[in-house]
């Protein structure tokens, strides 16, 4: 681990992420939705924490990201910000708070920044939301884009399969990415696309490109923290590396607690007043 983890304890900023890309240092990013996990993730040296709208699935058990509300994203954002000292904190703009109307988009982004104290927002889409992106940027709010698989559009596509395998979709993705860069976005997440396309976008753009299932030649990687900790058994995309089997570790520990309570082993003499 030594040598790869920065001993620079200064807060990570958009400027520093761009410097990391320029010197070829890969950017580490993980999601967090609550204080306890965010404190561990920040303390372990992760550069960027995403308060993803995947909270809708992971925290609330919804089957899509669509139901989560702006108030709920702000609640998760606030909880994470309270825990974090070094990482940059980005909050996802939830479905329905920016797609239709750029004025509403700016108002939603301002609420996130004002109430959660996050460092930036992320939203999904390219050309179709570019006016909203520009308005949010002109309010002084850093914006990260998100292209490729965009879970908020699941009802349009109907599947979570790999995106932009066809030439036309790949060309549109490159055009959208360039548009987001020109508008002033400080970075873009690319989700579930061919590695060769991820590499091309990272090479042609000067802002950091963070991949989730976008191959190893982009500028950084993001995963959902509960997935990489192995807390769930029922989600196994190819891009996911599980670093620990917390599902088994937690189940065994909780089972032992049940046994100890039932057998009157817990609490023992030293565990009471």
**Choice from 47, 70, 83, 92 touching ligand KIV (CB under 6 A):** 92
Q: Which of 50, 129, 35 is nearest to 91 (CA)?
A: 50
8 A C-beta contact, residue 196 and residue 215 = yes
Q: For residue 125, which of 79, 85, 172 has the smallest C-alpha distance?
A: 172
Active site includes 191? yes
Residue 188 CA to residue 191 CA, distance in Å, equals 10
What is the four-CA torsion angle of 233, 237, 238, 244, rounded to 10 degrees?
-30
By CB under 6 A, tell whether 225 contacts ligand KIV. no
Closer to ligand KIV at the Cβ: 105 or 211? 211
In this complex, which beta carbon is closest to ligand KIV, that of residue 146 or of residue 163? 146
Is residue 212 classed as helix, strand or coil in its secondary structure?
strand
Q: Is 144 among the residues that bind ligand KIV (CB under 6 A)? A: no
Which residues lie across from 223 on neighbouring strands? 30
Alpha-carbon separation of residue 227 from 48, 117, 237, 257 (angstroms): 17, 26, 10, 24
Q: Please identify which of the residues 191, 204, 269, 271 carries the catalytic annotation.
A: 191
- Find out whether 149 and 163 touch, Cβ atoms under 8 Å: yes
The token pair at 152 is 């908020």
Binding region for ligand KIV (CB under 6 A) out of 49-57, 135-143, 157-165, 265-273: 49-57
The b-or-e profile of 84-95 (16+ CB within 10 A means b, else e) is bebbbbbbbbbb
Query: Rounded to the nearest whole angstrom, what is the least distance from the CB of residue 138 to ligand KIV in the complex?
Result: 24
Instruction: Tell me how far, at minimum, the Cβ of 50 lies from ligand KIV, in Å.
Output: 6
Q: Does 222 help bind ligand KIV (rule: CB under 6 A)?
A: yes
Return the range that interacts with ligand KIV (CB under 6 A); candidates 11-19, 48-56, 129-137, 225-233.
Answer: 48-56
Q: Which is nearer to ligand KIV, 159 or 263 (by Cβ)?
A: 159
Tell me the window of 45-53, 160-168, 177-185, 230-238 that interacts with ligand KIV (CB under 6 A). 45-53
Nearer to ligand KIV, 119 or 191 (CB): 191
> Which of 164, 224, 229, 231: binder of ligand KIV (CB under 6 A)?
224
What residues act catalytically?
A: 191
Residues that bind ligand KIV (CB under 6 A): 31, 50, 52-54, 92, 146, 189, 191, 212, 222, 224
């Amino acid at each position: 681990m030594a040598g790869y983890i920065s001993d620079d304890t200064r807060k990570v900023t958009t400027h520093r992420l761009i410097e990391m890309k320029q010197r070829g240092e890969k950017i580490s990013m993980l999601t967090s939705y609550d204080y306890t996990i965010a404190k561990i993730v920040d303390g372990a040296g992760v550069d960027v924490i995403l308060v993803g709208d995947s909270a809708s699935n992971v925290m609330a058990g919804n089957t899509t990201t669509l139901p989560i509300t702006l108030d709920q994203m702000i609640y998760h954002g606030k909880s994470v910000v309270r825990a974090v000292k070094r990482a940059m904190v980005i909050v996802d703009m939830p479905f329905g708070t920016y797609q239709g109307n750029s004025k509403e988009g700016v108002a939603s982004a301002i609420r996130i920044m004002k109430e959660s104290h996050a460092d930036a927002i992320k939203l999904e889409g390219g050309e179709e939301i570019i006016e909203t992106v520009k308005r949010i940027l002109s309010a002084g709010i850093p914006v990260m884009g998100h292209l490729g698989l965009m879970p908020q559009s699941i009802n349009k596509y109907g599947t979570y399969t790999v995106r932009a395998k066809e030439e036309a979709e790949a060309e549109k993705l490159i055009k959208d990415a360039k548009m987001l860069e020109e508008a002033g976005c400080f970075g873009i997440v690319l989700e579930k696309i061919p590695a060769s396309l991820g590499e091309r976008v990272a090479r042609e753009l000067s802002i950091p490109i963070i991949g989730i299932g976008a191959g190893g030649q982009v500028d950084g990687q993001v995963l959902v923290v509960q997935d990489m900790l192995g807390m769930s058994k029922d989600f196994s995309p190819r891009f996911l590396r599980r670093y620990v089997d917390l599902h088994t570790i937690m189940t065994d520990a909780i089972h032992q607690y049940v046994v100890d309570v039932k057998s009157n082993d817990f609490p023992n003499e030293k565990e009471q007043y």
